[in-house]
Amino acid sequence: MKKLLAMILVTFLLLISTFTLPASAAETVNGEQIFSVHCAGCHINGGNIVRRGKNLKKQALKKYGMDSIEAITSIVTNGKNNMSAYKDRLTEQQIQNVAAYVLEQAQKDWR
CATH code of the domain covering residue 71:
1.10.760.10
DSSP-based three-state secondary structure for 55: coil
* Helical packing angle, 69-78 and 92-107, nearest 10°: 130
The answer to the question of residue 1 being in a domain is no
The answer to the question of residue 90 being in a domain is yes
Convert the pLDDT of each residue in 43-91 to its tens digit.
Answer: 999 999 999 889 999 999 999 999 999 999 999 999 999 999 999 999 9
The answer to the question of residue 80 being in a domain is yes
The answer to the question of residue 6 being in a domain is no
Number of compact structural domains in the chain? 1
Among 89, 90, 111, 95, which residue's Cα sits nearest to residue 23?
Answer: 95
The answer to the question of residue 52 being in a domain is yes
| Residue-level pLDDT at 16 | 47
DSSP-based three-state secondary structure for 84: coil
What residues make up the domain containing 102?
Answer: 24-107
